[in-house]
Amino acid sequence: MEIEVLRIGQRLVRDDRVTTHVALVARAFGARKIYMNEVNPKIKNTLEQINNTWGSNFEISFIDNWMQLMKKRKKESAKIVHLTMYGENVNDVASSLEKENDLLIVVGAEKVPRQVYDLADYNVAIGNQPHSEVSALAVLLDRIMKGKQFSFSYENAEREIIPTKQGKDVVMNKTRD
């Protein structure tokens, strides 16, 4: 399954950290790429540094026109999933999403324009209470991936965490060329 994430918008100051966390969750939970607009370019450097240290070929792409991207991906047969409090309950659509081959998950920052709701194949709610877009993305990806993301291993990692009951166990892999 190909999963990509589109982050729309950014509220100054507050959202540098939130957008970074949306990208970190996307990477860790199985997405292969994130598209962002209106963001601080330093976020890309942070994510590339995470990729270098912990492995992965997760891509970060800046875009100018989110609507153009949504329409393009839809023409390429991707299903558009918009995370919103006002959508269908995740429990009612999770099994359908698991069967899709290509998803673009839209995560808004500020008020999302009506066109997003209209272009989406799925408007999905993770509960019906206000909460973080970071948690919404994590819950959705966990449902889609069914926990498989917790056993990912990246060959190109400089460091790897070994699960332990207590303490910290980090293996330093050979430096890549």
pLDDT digits (tens, 9 = 90+) for 59-101: 999 999 999 999 999 999 999 999 999 999 999 999 999 999 9
* Average pLDDT score over the chain: 90
Establish if 97 belongs to a structural domain: yes
Confidence of residue 13 (pLDDT cuts 50, 70, 90): low
How many domains does the chain divide into? Answer: 1
pTM reported for the whole predicted model: 0.89
pLDDT of 163 reads: 85
- 162 vs 164: CA distance, rounded Å: 6
Establish if 76 belongs to a structural domain: yes
Establish if 177 belongs to a structural domain: no
pLDDT of 10 reads: 62
Establish if 55 belongs to a structural domain: yes
* Average pLDDT rounded to a whole number, residues 154-174: 86
For 121, phi then psi, to 5°, come to: -80, -30
3 membership: H or E segment, kind and range:
strand 2-8
The CATH number of the domain holding residue 57 is 3.40.1280.10
The residue among 168 and 156 whose pLDDT is bigger is 168
Establish if 83 belongs to a structural domain: yes
Instruction: For residue 76, give the DSSP letter.
Output: T
Establish if 140 belongs to a structural domain: yes
CB atoms within 10 A of CB 146: 9
Domain that holds residue 96: 2-172
